[in-house]
Structure formats: C-alpha cells, structure tokens
Chain A
C-alpha cells in the first residue's frame, strides 16, 4: 500500500464548469503523476511533478493544469470541463530511494462530464 488517496472518487459535472481532483500521499515522495485511462487507450500521462512547485507536461496535457504547493498533495484542474475529459483519472507516485520506473497508483477518480 503506497498510501495514496484520491478525492473525489466519483464526480459528475457539466460542460464548462471547473473541476479539481486531489491526490494525497502519506509518504512524502518527490515524484507524483496524473494519468487518464480511456477505453482503447490504456493509461496516458497528463502531468507530473518532481517537487513542490515543480511540474511538467505529459502526453495529453491540453485542457489540464496542475499544482503542487505541498509535497503530499498534487491537484489536477480542468479549467472548463469538456465531454472529451470524461475518463478515469489515476494518480501515481514513484518512491524516493527506489526505482523511479516503478510507479504506484491510487484508486482512481471516475469523472463524467455531461
């Protein structure tokens, strides 16, 4: 158990509204990631962070922003949600002192944009 929680676990929202998803870890590792999973696509990297206020874009970052003001929290924001952002969102961490290749995932947030 990597001590990762995600909130909310489920959310239904309407097109054009802002949405923020939260990822919280209890172990204070440096690297945190946001992925989305869609049928026929596997998991795709949205953004990642390598420390407080240090973030970078992933493969599918358009329409998303992130923030990390504390080591333990990594927030994913959809400024104006669209139906194409209906997905399951997973947060992950890499453990400091281990292989950064091995990432450990949270339980996911299912987001539906109507």
Chain B
C-alpha cells in the first residue's frame, strides 16, 4: 500500500520550458512534504519543502504547490536547465512524528531535459 505516489516514472522537457512533477498521497496524517533531487551514484539532495498550512512555496526556479483537498502536490521548475536532469523524489512526514521518525518516499520521477 503506497502512501506517496509518483505516477510518472519519467518526464522529458525541452530546455527553457517548464517542468511539472506530480505527487499524490493517501495518508491524511501527512503534514509536511519535501522534494529531493538525486543524481546517479550520489545521495538525494533536499530541494524544497512545504508545510500543510501553506499552498505554495517558492525558491528561485522551484515552486511547490500543495492541494490538500486533492491530496496532491506538484513541483514546478522554470525555466528548466540541463543540470535539472535527475530523479526527483517526493517525500512526506506525519504530524505525529514531526519528521523525526523518518520520511515516506515516492518511487521517483526521472526528469530529462532535452537541449
């Protein structure tokens, strides 16, 4: 039973355009959401996060949107650059643990930026 779902295993986007990565969750106890970026043979790198009390968080080219009623979040990257090619993981933590008891991850989406 997967609690965090990334239904697109891969996504190809042209350089300069917007990349939109999607994530759905089923556990209503999740109250904090994160996106990680991962290059091959490296550990995941924290990218951006959002608390459930917000619906948007922005950091430079990266924006995360949260729709609590739909249990859906998305990561927008504008403009997409070649260095953005990586696997992106959506992750969540629950109110009860405050994140201290670990994160629940999706399976990841491989973003490929085409020149």
Q: Which residues from chain A sit less than 8 Å from chain B, CB to CB?
A: 4, 31, 33, 35, 40-45, 48, 50, 56, 58-59, 90, 92, 94, 99-108
Contacts of B41 in A (CB 8 A): 107-108
Contacts of B102 in A (CB 8 A): 33, 35, 45, 48, 58-59
Q: A99-B32, A102-B46, A108-B42 are in contact. List 9 more A-B contacts (CB 8 A).
A: A4-B43, A35-B102, A43-B103, A43-B105, A100-B100, A101-B32, A101-B98, A103-B46, A107-B42
| Nearest B residue (CB) for A99 | B99
CB distance from A76 to the nearest CB of B (A): 14
Which of B6, B44, B98 contacts A105 (CB under 8 A)?
B44
| Nearest B residue (CB) for A34 | B102
Which are the 3 A-B pairs with shortest beta-carbon distances? A101-B99, A105-B43, A42-B105
Q: Mark B33-58, 1 if CB is under 8 A from A, else 0.
A: 01010000111111001000000000
| Nearest A residue (CB) for B92 | A101
Which of B6, B44, B103, B107 contacts A45 (CB under 8 A)?
B103
Which of A33, A59, A101 contacts B34 (CB under 8 A)?
A101
Determine if A43 and B89 form an interchain contact, defined as CB atoms under 8 angstroms apart. yes
Contacts of A99 in B (CB 8 A): 32, 49, 99
Which of A90, A92, A100 contacts B98 (CB under 8 A)?
A100
Given A42-B108, A45-B102, A102-B43 contact (CB < 8 Å): no
Residues of B1-39 at the interface with A, using a CB-CB cut-off of 8 Å, are: 4, 6, 32, 34, 36
